[in-house]
Amino acid sequence: MRTMKRAFLAGGIGVALLLGALAFILPRALKPVPVGTEPGYRAPDFRLARLDTGEEVSLSQFRGHVVLLLFWQSTCPDCRRAMPYFEDLRVKFSSRGLVVLGVDLDHDPDAARRYLREHRYGLIPLWGSFDAAMEVVKLYEVPLVPHVVLIDKRGVIRFRGTYPDVPTPEDIERWL
């Protein structure tokens, strides 16, 4: 009988400790991440039309996927150097949930369409209009192109950089 009381008491203490720990940890884990443009902050949402279909999309509709948000222009020499690298990442990780969104900063959308078609790049091209794309540039405080922002499945920025500072396959693997 005494052994049962001790086991019951020990079990009760264990449950109380577990509940106390959960009461301490859960509010912090469930606390919303503030919106911002630096790593550790929730990526600001935006809407732009797809360059290829005209369909309007938002960043938030890709929640649950790791997103590589790329700011680029077809006439930019560094963008042309970086695009094959981003395409390789897309091909390697798209089956595991990576989505590559490319905010195009060309004044002429036909130039961007030709460039993407010619090189068979599979990113989701976003534009809407030059002014609309520039609003997203301002929102994300993009200093130069190509600029890339890696966003995790919860919408939190995990990396941002301007070429040649780009996320590695290991960076992407970590968040898949």
Q: What is the mean pLDDT of residues 87-104?
A: 98
Residue 42 in any domain: the answer is no
Q: What is the pLDDT of residue 101?
A: 98
Going by pLDDT thresholds of 50, 70 and 90, the confidence category of residue 28 is low
Same domain, 20 and 104: no
Residue 33 pLDDT > 50, yes or no?
Answer: yes
Same domain, 23 and 99: no
3 state SS of 159? strand
Same domain, 80 and 125: yes
Q: What is the pLDDT of residue 122?
A: 97
Same domain, 106 and 143: yes
Residue 39 in any domain: the answer is no
Residue 37 in any domain: the answer is no
Same domain, 24 and 60: no
The 10s digit of each residue's pLDDT in 64-95 is 999 999 999 999 999 999 999 999 999 999 99
Indicate left, alpha or beta for 169 from its phi (over 0: left) and psi (-120 to 50: alpha). Answer: alpha
**Residue 108 Cα distances to 12, 130, 135, angstroms:** 69, 8, 17
Number of structural domains in the chain: 2
Going by pLDDT thresholds of 50, 70 and 90, the confidence category of residue 8 is low
For residue 7, the enclosing domain spans 1-31
